[in-house]
Amino acid sequence: MNDFAVVLENVLQVLTAGLLVGSIYALMCVGLGLIFGVMRVINFAQGEFLMLGMYATLYAFTGLNLGVMLGSYIGPIVGALIAGVVLYFAGLLMHRYLLTRVTGIRVVGSEGEGHYPQLILTLGVSLILANAGLIFFGSMPQTVRTPLSTTAWEIGPFIGDHVSVFLNKARSVAFLVSVAIAVALYRFIGRTRIGKTLRAAADNPEAATYMGIDVDRAHSIAFALGCAITAVAGGLVATYYPFQPYVGLDFVIIMYAGVVLGGMGSIVGAFWGGLTIGLVQQLSTLVLPVQLQNAAIFVVFLLIVLIRPEGLLGRNVERT
Amino acid sequence: MSGLRHGWGKPLAGIAAFAAAYLVVGLLVQNQYYQLMLTLVLVWAVMGLSWNVFSGYSGLISFGHASFFGLGAYTVTLLLVKFDITPWIGIPIGMVVGVIAGVVIGYPTFRLRGHYFALAMLAYPLALLYIFEWLGYQEVSLPMKREAPAAFMQFADHRVYVALALGLLVLAMLASLWVERSRFGLSLNALKQNEAAAEAAGIDTLAWKLKAIMISGAMAAAAGGFYAVVLLIVTPVTVFGMLTSAQALIVTLFGGVATLWGPVIGSLILIPLAEILHAELGHRIPGIQGVVFGLAIVLVMVLAPEGVLPRIRDRLARRSKPLAAAPQVDGPVAIAAAARRAPAGEVLLRVSNLSRAFGGLRAVQDVSFEVRKGEVLGIIGPNGAGKTTLFNLLNGFIRPDAGEVTFEGERLLGLKPNRICRLGIGRTFQIMRPFPRMTVLDNVLVGAFVSERDDDRAVAAARQALARVGLAARADSLASSLTTVELREMELARALASRPKVALLDETLAGLGSQEIDRLLATINSLASEGLTIVIIEHTMQAMVRLADRFVVLDHGAVLARGKPDEVTRDPKVIEAYLGKKWMANAQH
């Protein structure tokens, strides 16, 4: 195999891996983006909801013996969906008992200062959840183990016997589920009555209130749904990525990067943003040592916020 | 009462008393573990003060103060390990690194606001964490120097560390006190409450933010360096980790943000609590510290968002004295008499062919006019004519696409609002921009900093400006308690306090009753007869005819007419712009 073929194979491999991983990042970004889009709240604890989603999937998968009952394709997916439902209710509770004190219609319209209490409150929640996770789950890295985690489909070879692309089965399944859920959510928000409520509450909470829309309820649904979606994404990640209770922090930066890149407030943008971050992360492995992969994401994130804080798809709005 | 006028005596005595008491306790304690805890309380108090000096006063929340802490810790450690340089020198060098890091991080990041700033700050220490791991500094221990321990800040008697940390804390508190009690703190507070207004009032917001993060970076780096010396081992996670940034923020918010004692009190309560729980239960319940800090901050945000200390102070204050009744507002003022003014002098401000578009909307197109010394120029035009955009172009909030503005022969294009204010162009806002949680005097004082380098003289200038607009009686009220007309007067005073040569007044009369309009017109007229050059925007002609010497009429962003009030008000084009074509047709018949 000549040099060109090696490079080509690496690039193709990295691109497909980026696409697969990126789609899952995209799903978690959609969760964060939904919350921000509707409530204008940055949920610092989103990473911890992802982590809880991973553990919920793990316990559902092993506790209900889903692997045996439903097989290694369907089993983890059902586990992740169960995790989503569980975290939906966790999100409802958190919104009801904590966030309503620092969010809602008073804060949505204000810029800057009014948002810090939310950020700081959710930082507190994030610390509690991550460390409580350590207490209850232990620090041992875990995965949702199926035969799929370590097997792959081969596509190719394209040139003679060379240049094949390997699709990790677990990641590929996760990719399909992510895209399906994202599309379902898109249609849900676009077409259903609840979806319209969410969009109205996001667009102009005050006017929505005058039109008889319960904005607090809309916030509550958006927050819970955002947590659930990120938790499902966590469950999908858990099938190929070892995790421990502090894993949230790594992913929360990925989510911020994706959401900012897509333009804060846009759910579709969040999806493309997350996908891009996945590609960037995988492509960085071509030139950077593996230990610096996460650092690369932080640097990309910084570059995005510094150079184009309104996001690639966002509009530039000037105000005085 | 102004934030600047509190004496230094009381807080200095407080710091001295606290330091003495702490030192006594520190010297009496024999147990090494408790000595360590006493030291750590002080280290985190310094870290909290560092966070407070920057984020507390400026309102720019940093989630990344671990950057400075970690760089300080690694500077001290690596200097000792690689070059045999003692921490006595290493800590000051670390502080220099902290200052540099402050500039390097601050300068690009200050372009961001709100969420974006907080999130960007989060990324710096986490990136540093991975970089230091990659560099191979996973776990660096400080070598023992048995031959000359004291020269390397190594002491068998751990009470020395308590004393050293106490020294560090006293220095940090003095620095905080200096920030809080000078124009530094007031400027930060102003930009926290309304950044655009602070800029327009002549506060160089970027310069103050940079100064604040430099001081803050030095303090955090000192805390980090000393932390390394005390614990003798440094890992990326302990110094750059999220918990480090969070602890700085949490002890401060818990104790009381933007107060001198808040970070100290927060640290005194939370650090021992977390340490004791960790020591007692840490082996069975790992992560208990994080839970403690998380719970602390959640409880504070929910129950007492202003922090423990201000909450206690409020309680005590409420018990001790009832609120003083607000002073009565001055009675109605005599109706403005059209004052005799000196004839207009040479050209002060020249606007040539100024244009600015927002997307397809041409808000200002090819506007030219000049402002002569001593005149009152009225800029009138229907809503949406581009009047406020014109002011925003003149005072530097937005940049024109084309054209030129000169003031006393100097080009203004590209200058920041605070520079333009310093040159002598003051402004007020159509939608008022007070600093709501500051007193009226402090609001105006922010403007006075431009004209007076000395803080006491600035206070005098602010009082004088308040007297000129007839608001002296309200000097000690909070700006948020003022009525609309009083807010207008306060903004006018804030602009006056910078001793401008030209004042740009943006719809100063909007939303006022007729008596209030009379009162404000009298004030503006008297300012004009004192020789102040005024450019005033209005869309109600009636009031303007009584005030302006000359009009420039804008419509759809372009100059429609200009001239003396009676000429302009008779101009058919102007009547058409205001009242529409149909009215014109009627008027002609």
Note the pLDDT tens digit of each residue in B262-289. Answer: 999 999 999 999 988 888 887 878 888 8
| Average confidence (pLDDT) over A118-123 | 88
User: Whose CA is closest to A145, among A66, A49, A246?
Assistant: A66
**Among all residues of chain B, which has the CA nearest to that of A121?**
B298
- Nearest-Cα distance to chain B for A156, in Å, is 36
Closest-CA residue of B relative to A255 is: B119
Q: What is the DSSP letter of B4?
A: T
User: Which residues from A are below 8 Å from B294, CB to CB?
Assistant: 124-129, 131
What integer pLDDT is reported at residue B581 of this predicted model? 65
Query: Structure tokens of A19?
Result: 């696409």
In degrees and rounded to multiples of 5, residue B365 shows phi and psi of -130, 115
Nearest Cα of chain B lies from the Cα of A294 at a distance, in angstroms, of: 7
What is the complex's ipTM, to 2 decimals?
0.86
| Cβ–Cβ below 8 Å for B301 and A124 | yes
Chain B residue with Cα closest to A111: B114
Residue with tokens 């995005």: A304
Residue type present at position A187 = R
Residue B41: which pLDDT band, with cuts at 50, 70 and 90? very high
Helix (H) or strand (E) holding B103: helix B87-109
Angstroms from B287 CA to nearest CA on chain A = 5
The single residue listed with the structure tokens 């960037």 is A280
Give pLDDT tens digits for A27-78. 999 999 999 888 888 888 999 999 999 999 999 999 888 877 888 788 889 9
pLDDT band at A119 (very low <50, low <70, confident <90, very high): confident
CB contact A124 to B (< 8 Å): yes
Which range, A293-302, A310-319, B144-153, is most confident?
B144-153
Tell me what pLDDT residue A21 has.
Answer: 92
Q: How many CB atoms lie within 10 A of CB A257?
A: 28
Position B334 scores a pLDDT of 40
Percent of all residues in chain B with a pLDDT value above 70, rounded to a whole number: 93
Q: What is the pLDDT of residue B419?
A: 92
Please tell me the least confidently modeled range out of A172-186, A283-297, B421-435: A283-297
A51-61 per-residue burial string, b: 16 or more CB within 10 A, e: under 16: bbbbbbbbbbb
Q: Of A205 and A181, which is predicted with more confidence?
A: A181
State the CB neighbour count (10 A cutoff) for residue A127: 29
Highest-pLDDT range among A8-12, A123-127, B329-333: A123-127
Q: Do A302 and B127 touch (CB under 8 A)?
A: yes
Q: Give the residue among B343, B344, B364, B341 at the shortest CA–CA distance from B354.
A: B364
Task: Report in angstroms the alpha-carbon separations of A207 from A210, A213, B202.
Answer: 5, 9, 37
A318, pLDDT greater than 80: no
Provide, as residue numbers in chain B, all residues whose Cβ is less than 8 Å from the Cβ of A123: 63, 246, 249, 297
Q: How far apart are CA A295 and CA A1, in angstroms?
A: 33
Q: Please tell me the least confidently modeled range out of A123-137, A158-172, B36-50, B364-378.
A: A158-172
Residue A93 touches partner B, C-beta closer than 8 Å: no
A277 reaches B (C-beta below 8 A) = no
Q: What residue type is assigned to position A267 of the chain?
A: I
CB B480 within 8 A of CB B502: no
Average pLDDT over residues B115-132: 88
In chain A, residues with a C-beta closer than 8 Å to the C-beta of B302 are: 98, 101-102, 121
Q: How far is B302 from chain A (nearest CA, A)?
A: 7
> Where are chain B's structural domains?
9-240, 347-588
Contact B294 A124 (CB under 8 A): yes
pLDDT at B239 over 90: yes
**pLDDT of B332 strictly over 50:** no
Q: Does the distance separating the beta carbons of A115 and B115 come in below 8 Å?
A: yes
B111 pLDDT more than 90: no
For residue A125, the chain B residues in CB contact (below 8 A) are 294, 298
Phi, psi (5° rounding) for residue A314?
-80, 165
The DSSP 8-state label assigned to residue B373 in this structure reads T
Instruction: Return the axis-axis angle of helices B572-579 and B581-588, rounded to nearest 10°.
Output: 130
Confidence of residue B382 (pLDDT cuts 50, 70, 90): confident
Cβ–Cβ contact A109 with B under 8 A: no
Does A286 or A2 have the greater pLDDT score? A286
- What CATH number was assigned to the domain covering residues B347-588? 3.40.50.300
Q: Which of B290, B296, B392 sits opposite A130 (nearest CB)?
A: B290
For A257-279, what is each residue's pLDDT tens digit?
A: 888 888 777 888 899 999 999 99
- Taking the C-alpha atoms of residue B269 and residue B262, their distance in angstroms, rounded to an integer, is 11
pLDDT at A113: 54
Task: Provide the percentage of residues in chain A whose pLDDT is more than 90.
Answer: 36
User: pLDDT value at position B338?
Assistant: 46
- Please, which residues have CB within 8 angstroms of residue B393's CB and are 6 or more apart in sequence? B354, B356, B364, B399, B400, B405
Above 70 in pLDDT, residue A91? Answer: yes
Cis peptide leading into A309, omega within 30 of 0? Answer: no
B368 to chain A, closest Cα gap in Å = 22
Backbone phi and psi for residue B148, each to the nearest 5 degrees, phi listed first: -140, 70
Distance from the Cα of A161 to chain B's closest Cα (Å) equals: 37
Q: Do A134 and B111 touch (CB under 8 A)?
A: no
Q: Worst-scoring range by mean pLDDT, A250-254, A261-265, B22-26, B91-95?
A: A261-265
User: What's the order of all strands across the beta sheet hosting B550-555?
Assistant: B425-427, B502-506, B533-538, B376-380, B550-555, B558-563
Would the CB atoms of A299 and B127 count as touching at under 8 Å?
A: yes
Q: Do domains B9-240 and B347-588 have the same CATH topology?
A: no
Neighboring chain A residues of B59 at a CB cutoff of 8 Å: 112-113, 116
Query: Which residues on neighbouring strands pair with residue B354, listed in sequence order?
Result: B367
- Please check the confidence at residue A314 and state whether its pLDDT lies above 70: no
- As a whole number, mean pLDDT of residues B178-204 equals 90
Is the pLDDT higher at A301 or at A87? A87
Is pLDDT at A301 greater than 50 in this prediction?
yes
Nearest CB to B298 within list A119, A125, A309: A125
Q: Band the pLDDT of B320: cuts 50, 70, 90.
A: low
Q: Which chain A residues are closer than 8 Å to B192 by Cβ?
A: 113
- What span, in angstroms and rounded, lies between the C-alpha atoms of A187 and B120? 32
- Radius of gyration, alpha carbons of chain A: 20
- How do residues B391-417 score in pLDDT, each as one tens digit? 999 989 999 999 999 998 889 888 999
Subunit contact A305:B114, Cβ cutoff 8 A: no
Q: Where does residue B266 rank: exposed (0-12), middle (13-18), buried (19+ CB within 10 A)?
A: buried
Give the separation between CA A246 and CA B378, rounded to whole angstroms.
Answer: 63
Cβ of B177: how many Cβ atoms within 10 Å?
18
Q: What is the dihedral of CA B69, B71, B74, B79, to 10 degrees?
A: -120
Q: What is the average per-residue pLDDT within A297-303? A: 82
Superfamily (CATH) of domain B9-240: ABC transporter involved in vitamin B12 uptake, BtuC (1.10.3470.10)
The tokens describing B472, both together, are 């002296």
> What is the pLDDT of chain B when averaged over all its residues?
88
Nearest Cα to Cα of residue B113 among A263, A40, A103, A113:
A113
3-state class percentages of chain A: helix first, strand second, coil last, to nearest 5: 75, 5, 20
State the average pLDDT for chain A. Answer: 85
Question: Is residue A194 over pLDDT 60?
Answer: yes
How would DSSP label each residue in A263-278? -TT-HHHHHHHHHHHH
DSSP character for A157? -
pLDDT at B325: 44
